Structure 1
Amino acid sequence: MTSKPSTFFVNRFIIVKGSKAVYDEVFHRGVNIIRGANSVGKSTIMDFLFNCLGGDIAEDRWNEEAQTCDAVFAEIELNGHALTIYRPVQPGKKPPMGFFDGSYEQLQAANTAAVWQSYGINRTDEKLSFSQQLFELLDWPHSQTDDFANLTIHQILRLIYVDQGTAVNKILRAEYSTFDKPSMRQAIGDFLLGLDDLGIYSLKQQLSKAESEFAKIDGQLDSIYRYISPSEGVLRVASLNSAIGDANKELLELLAHRDTLLTQSDESISDAVLKAKAEQASQQIAELTKEIDIRTAKQAEMLNEIVESELFITAIESRIKALKESRTAYEFFGEVRFKFCPSCLSALSDSGKEQCHLCKTELDKNSREASYLAALNELAFQKKESTKVLVELRTKLSEHAHYLNSKQFALQTVKSNHIMALRMSSDRVLKLNELSAKIGTIEERIKNYDTKAKLVGAVEGLIEKKQNLNAIMLELDEQIKASKSQTSSRRESIESNLSEKTVELLKKDGGFEPAFNVAQTVMFDFGKDFMLVDGRSKFSASSETILKNSFHLAILLESLEDDSMRYPRLLLLDNTEDKGMGPDRSQNFQRVLVEALTEHDEKSYQVIMTTSMVDPALDTSDLCVGPHYAKGMHTLSL
């Protein structure tokens, strides 16, 4: 949930052709009315504004006049922060958006010295997308739907912009593509009404971080246990201290013995003894060399296995990435459609059924989605298992390298003994050499014990951290459950409030629809994209227009009373007279809208609406923006 209201206002809007502004109007807080006769271009202005703010418009919905324009500018205010955005006009494409930190007047004054920040539709490693940048400025978290599709500013605007091209019985602006899932529509509504689980977003992130740290510590402990006590399984501080004491005692005895030998005189040693010593050392050298060769070959095999595993994991990651990109491309572009058969060049007809328009094979969207998820799950499982194997291989390689190093050290020691045996001239020197080797071994053992003793301290610290993290995870899990319960309670409250507000507005319709006069409840479902009045969905087209506009107005009114909603207190309304609306009914709704909003500070919201049947009293008010476009005039000064 948000802690303060989100606001998204338009201060000025400019449409440019060449070096000329063909539309330039200043908008104010409160209600803004663009009025004029039919076909003067009011909807063109609204579509341009929708596109400038980050919305996508299908290529076939750009009229000829709009296509001749070059760019759009909008001075906007996000949570009180003013900036100017720019977007080139590129019908059928999704161009980037430029951000200038300042008003449009400041931009004009800066001229060529203006500093623009460009953001594309997709995020890169170096920069956010323009949707993410707008979300950042609005202090919104980056949301995902249940199937992990990201919410964008285009999707958000689908609930803010009520256009004429969408059926009047739909809540959200129609998505002119093959991708418009119920999960996406539900996510839009829940996000803007503050009904989603993003209230526990940070808790989930904390839980994920704690679980990751817990797994890391668990792995560290496992590695330490393997190094310290692979056979014992349990390491105790007392046993280490006892071993260190015994080793120090043995070292002192050896040092004392060496001191005694140093005071003795040399005695010659027989050739037979020296020869025996040399042969023994030579045999040990041969055995150690053979074992080292075998171990070295095994090490090379293990290295090859690790490289192969790493390459396999890289290949899996590449396939996962390609699969996700393939899905994104399909969702973005939809099914590839041919106008002509690639074999005989005959024109292709659309059967209207759920089948491939080329080969006429029956299509099943659910089957495609299930296949995608199955493939993704299989790859994820393979990556998980391969990663587990790779970790085990690396651990074995580390242990193997440690053992190999010890054998190589032993070989060097035996070689030294062999050389010494060949060069020995007295028994005393031989014994001194053997004692030195034993002293070195004991000192190394004591050093190893000291290292293990330090690791024991680390183990105790890690165990304590592990216990603390476990307690934190349990607490976070309880907080998440509590937050979900609160979200459920809030949903009931919001749905009830919107129903009451919509019913109140419907009863002010003026008696054009008798069912509205006695309405009790309005139910809505963003996922299914429909509204019901007392369980009924079918009304006349003009009545459905009133219902739709009243519901959107109710959302705006609720946002003015509920700071936990993310709806940015901006309503773009372009279907006031949609579907055969008469002047009396349209003008009545205009008065109802203005009256309903007068109870609130006009600086706290903004409505930009169009009408060809403006109420005479409103036509001369300060609520109107621009001239009254008479028949023959056009909003774009082309």
Structure 2
Amino acid sequence: MTQYKPFIFINRLIITKGKHTVYDEFFHKGVNIIRGTNSSGKSTIMEFLFYGLGGSILEKQWKTVALSCDNTHIEVDINNQVFVLKRQVSTNFKEQMNIFEGTYDESVNSSAQNWLSFPYASTANKESFHDNLLKLLNIPITKSQDSSYINFNQILRLIYTDQLSGISRIFREEDFDSSFKRETIGDLMLGVNSKDVTQKKLEIIQLNKNIDKLTSDIRAFTTMYGEVESESNINERISENKVAIETLTSSLYSVNTVENESVDESTKELISSKREQLNTSLQTKENLLRDINTLNFEIIDSESFVVNLKKRLINIQESDNTLSILSDIAFNFCPSCFSKVSDNLKEVGACNLCHSSNNDSYESPTFRVRKDIEFQISETKDLIPKFNDDLEKLTGSYVLIKEEISNLKGEILILEKPIKGISSEKTGTLINIGELRQKGSELAEKSRVLNNLYAKQANRDSLQNILNSLENEVLSKESSVISNRNNRKTLISAIALRLLLKDLDREDDFKDPKEISFDFTNDRIKVDGVSNFSASSTSILKTVLKLSILIASCEDPGFLYPRLAIMDNVEDKGMEQARSQNLQKIIIEESNNLEVEHQIIFTTSMIDESLEGSKYCIGEFYNPESRTLDIKGY
């Protein structure tokens, strides 16, 4: 069958309690049915699927029997790479996730070092498992207008239809939800925002933050110092001050200087002390200059390192894609003698050319390498702002030490050349020189602060230009976004309308509907503008919409919806048996008609007799005596 990416399919679910396995079932592509009587644990398994994939379950939502278990392991196929996702069963909805590349059987015999641990939320040093899963799926990390990151849990809220959420709601309910968040999830899953546009929107958000921070710093400076002096003006004042000092100093020695007059001992000690200070300052200046050069090199080297690492990531991904393409090649003729390749004695999963059996599943050798490179990129990018801050401080210190050296040299010059007959005029000159040197120190400090301000102003103006350019780019593509959104929502609505006509004749408004509309923002579905139906009919409508989203994603490769539907509501809210069984047949018929790989998992307590024991069924028919979780005696 054809494959559209992204996709995530569940191969196997394992739930453990201590050393015991209390649930272990394999799943397949297409339709998977978990069936059994009420209160036999079907919904518990669906909750475990949601949680194991990264969903958030609050303490009040956990069933007691589920909390008695210890760990979930889900073997998944993500874009043709097999992973095991492991989470400890916990009332902490922010529980971390451990990820192993390979099958569950391989993970059991593997050492702990082959597992990678990811926190629920990203930190400065490590990405979250949500971000990691999104990267594996090649779904862009997105932020909504209310600054909420769309993590994988948010996407699962659309994939998973549970029994506890309101029957008229499209998304699984959760605390602190918002219309902005739902709108962004919907647009993301419809694929209406290209990865390029999404990335630009994230950049716009970050640029606005950076500009706001710089503007705040500039405003704080003007509040403290008042009017901002121009760079040329402050430099001119510093230059004039130095000339004035030099002129006054020269005037002291123009007449009546004492030649070869001995300097008293106390003055010699003072000169010696000043020279030591000068030598120390000169050494400090040299060290500062060396550190400044080193930091400049570090910044340039780090930026270059990040660029090269990003290129390596692209190359690695291209290598993976090439291997994936080559592994899918089916040879109809021998590449050596050009004879037709025989299908005789060929085992399932065997090589198409030589027919040799290969029981070892292919593992991409690049997963850990990619994670290591991504960590290095993140770590290096975090260092660059620190380097820039350190450089700014060193540059300011360098300006001050230069002024201090100039002052020390002037003081030593006066001490080493005694002046005969200190008149009141010359005393005044010395006082003026002291005042000018103090003024020079103040100007140097002001220059340092102003240089910092000028840098912030230049940076703000540069970022503003970039922001304006990005906003113009995004604005120019908004019409395309709106068109894509409307086209894909129209496709989903048309499919939903077709499916609703297959429902049994129970709801008057479903007999001859003209339009089905849905709104991710307001979390509502309507038929011909009406949303108020019986509970069972509303449940049917919700299932039809969720199924339609999956079908549409299999008809249009532009969708980013990962071709998976998990539904625990196909007979919710008092639905009669005949209507439920009709819906089951609709799901299977639609699935069988699709030519793109997908996966549907649903539960029922009213399975159609023709489906019981079929290839669609997962596990046994459960009941209160034989529940889904085999925890008796454990």
Task: Give the TM-score, by structure 2 length.
Answer: 0.62
1:616 partner SS: coil
Partner Cα separation in structure 2 for residue 114 and residue 400 of structure 1: 52
Whether the aligned pair in 1 keeps the contact of 2:543 and 2:570 (CA below 8 Å) is yes
Structure 2 equivalent of residue 89 of structure 1? 89
Whether the aligned pair in 2 keeps the contact of 1:7 and 1:138 (CA below 8 Å) is yes
Structure 1 equivalent of residue 342 of structure 2? none
Q: Deviations over 1:358-388 (max 9, x none)?
A: xxxxxxxxxxxxxxxxxxxxxxxxxxxxxxx
CA distance 1:596–1:106, change in 2 (3 Å): same
Structure 1 equivalent of residue 407 of structure 2? 407
1:619 aligns with 2:612: yes
Letter in 2 for 1:629: Y
Whether the aligned pair in 2 keeps the contact of 1:503 and 1:522 (CA below 8 Å) is yes
Further displaced range: 539-548 or 611-620: 611-620
1:606 aligns with 2:599: yes
Q: Deviations over 1:541-570 (max 9, x none)?
A: 111011000000111011112222221111
1:515 aligns with 2:509: yes
1:626 partner SS: coil
Structure 2 equivalent of residue 166 of structure 1? 165
Letter in 2 for 1:168: I
2:114 partner SS: coil
Structure 2 equivalent of residue 134 of structure 1? 133
Aligned counterpart in structure 2 of residue 230 of structure 1, from 202, 227, 235: 235
Structure 2 equivalent of residue 192 of structure 1? 189
CA distance 1:631–1:407, change in 2 (3 Å): closer
Aligned counterpart in structure 1 of residue 545 of structure 2, from 542, 547, 551: 551
Whether the aligned pair in 2 keeps the contact of 1:12 and 1:74 (CA below 8 Å) is yes
Structure 2 equivalent of residue 252 of structure 1? none
Aligned counterpart in structure 2 of residue 534 of structure 1, from 516, 528, 540: 528
1:103 aligns with 2:97: no
Whether the aligned pair in 2 keeps the contact of 1:519 and 1:534 (CA below 8 Å) is yes
Letter in 2 for 1:187: T
Partner Cα separation in structure 2 for residue 113 and residue 392 of structure 1: 44
Q: Deviations over 1:197-237 (max 9, x none)?
A: 76413334667899979x99xx9xxx99837983499xxxx
1:501 aligns with 2:506: no
Partner Cα separation in structure 2 for residue 134 and residue 61 of structure 1: 24
Whether the aligned pair in 1 keeps the contact of 2:142 and 2:198 (CA below 8 Å) is no
Deviation at 1:622, TM superposition (A): 1.1
The correspondence of residues 417-566 of structure 1 with structure 2, limited to 5 A, is 417-418=417-418, 475-566=469-560
Partner Cα separation in structure 2 for residue 34 and residue 122 of structure 1: 32
CA distance 1:206–1:601, change in 2 (3 Å): same
1:408 partner SS: helix
1:47 aligns with 2:47: yes
2:610 partner SS: helix
Whether the aligned pair in 1 keeps the contact of 2:33 and 2:602 (CA below 8 Å) is yes
Whether the aligned pair in 1 keeps the contact of 2:143 and 2:202 (CA below 8 Å) is no
CA distance 1:57–1:396, change in 2 (3 Å): closer
Structure 1 equivalent of residue 122 of structure 2? 123
1:87 partner SS: strand
Aligned counterpart in structure 1 of residue 629 of structure 2, from 607, 611, 636: 636
Partner Cα separation in structure 1 for residue 70 and residue 81 of structure 2: 27
Structure 2 equivalent of residue 147 of structure 1? 146
Whether the aligned pair in 1 keeps the contact of 2:142 and 2:149 (CA below 8 Å) is yes
1:581 aligns with 2:578: no
Deviation at 1:79, TM superposition (A): 1.4
Structure 2 equivalent of residue 382 of structure 1? none
Partner Cα separation in structure 2 for residue 579 and residue 628 of structure 1: 21
Q: Deviations over 1:112-140 (max 9, x none)?
A: 56622222222233222221221222122
CA distance 1:152–1:478, change in 2 (3 Å): closer
Structure 1 equivalent of residue 301 of structure 2? none
Further displaced range: 410-419 or 496-505: 410-419
CA distance 1:554–1:278, change in 2 (3 Å): farther
Partner Cα separation in structure 1 for residue 397 and residue 561 of structure 2: 57
1:572 partner SS: strand
Letter in 2 for 1:409: K
Partner Cα separation in structure 1 for residue 461 and residue 612 of structure 2: 70
Task: Give the TM-score, by structure 1 length.
Answer: 0.61
CA distance 1:507–1:394, change in 2 (3 Å): same
CA RMSD of aligned residues (A): 4.2
Further displaced range: 118-127 or 474-483: 474-483
User: Which is higher, the Rg of structure 1 or of structure 2?
Assistant: 1
Letter in 2 for 1:542: S
CA distance 1:80–1:9, change in 2 (3 Å): same
Query: Which consecutive unaligned segments of at least 5 residues does structure 2 have?
Result: 219-227, 239-254, 275-390, 422-457
Deviation at 1:397, TM superposition (A): 8.0
Partner Cα separation in structure 1 for residue 136 and residue 87 of structure 2: 18
Aligned counterpart in structure 1 of residue 587 of structure 2, from 576, 582, 593: 593
Partner Cα separation in structure 2 for residue 225 and residue 624 of structure 1: 78
Partner Cα separation in structure 2 for residue 227 and residue 181 of structure 1: 51
Letter in 2 for 1:145: S
Structure 2 equivalent of residue 79 of structure 1? 79
Whether the aligned pair in 2 keeps the contact of 1:187 and 1:196 (CA below 8 Å) is no
Whether the aligned pair in 1 keeps the contact of 2:140 and 2:199 (CA below 8 Å) is no
1:183 aligns with 2:168: no
CA distance 1:185–1:29, change in 2 (3 Å): same
Whether the aligned pair in 1 keeps the contact of 2:88 and 2:95 (CA below 8 Å) is yes
Whether the aligned pair in 2 keeps the contact of 1:36 and 1:628 (CA below 8 Å) is yes
- The percentage of aligned residue pairs carrying the same residue is 35
Whether the aligned pair in 2 keeps the contact of 1:145 and 1:187 (CA below 8 Å) is yes
Whether the aligned pair in 2 keeps the contact of 1:186 and 1:526 (CA below 8 Å) is yes
Deviation at 1:539, TM superposition (A): 0.7
Deviation at 1:486, TM superposition (A): 1.4
CA distance 1:410–1:232, change in 2 (3 Å): closer
Whether the aligned pair in 2 keeps the contact of 1:143 and 1:198 (CA below 8 Å) is no
Deviation at 1:628, TM superposition (A): 2.3
Deviation at 1:396, TM superposition (A): 8.8
Partner Cα separation in structure 2 for residue 112 and residue 506 of structure 1: 51
Partner Cα separation in structure 2 for residue 85 and residue 565 of structure 1: 24
Deviation at 1:35, TM superposition (A): 1.4
Whether the aligned pair in 1 keeps the contact of 2:257 and 2:418 (CA below 8 Å) is no
Q: Deviations over 1:510-529 (max 9, x none)?
A: 32223122212222222221
Deviation at 1:183, TM superposition (A): 2.2
Partner Cα separation in structure 2 for residue 578 and residue 209 of structure 1: 44
Further displaced range: 482-491 or 391-400: 391-400
Letter in 2 for 1:615: D
1:488 partner SS: helix
Structure 1 equivalent of residue 310 of structure 2? none
2:169 partner SS: coil
Structure 1 equivalent of residue 61 of structure 2? 61
Deviation at 1:193, TM superposition (A): 1.9
Structure 2 equivalent of residue 26 of structure 1? 26
Deviation at 1:584, TM superposition (A): 1.2
Query: Which consecutive unaligned segments of at least 5 residues does structure 1 have?
Result: 234-271, 293-390, 423-462
Deviation at 1:610, TM superposition (A): 0.7
Whether the aligned pair in 1 keeps the contact of 2:581 and 2:607 (CA below 8 Å) is yes
CA distance 1:38–1:206, change in 2 (3 Å): closer
Q: Deviations over 1:57-102 (max 9, x none)?
A: 2323333322222211110111111111111122355422111111
CA distance 1:278–1:141, change in 2 (3 Å): farther
Partner Cα separation in structure 1 for residue 508 and residue 605 of structure 2: 25
Structure 2 equivalent of residue 201 of structure 1? 198
Deviation at 1:152, TM superposition (A): 2.2
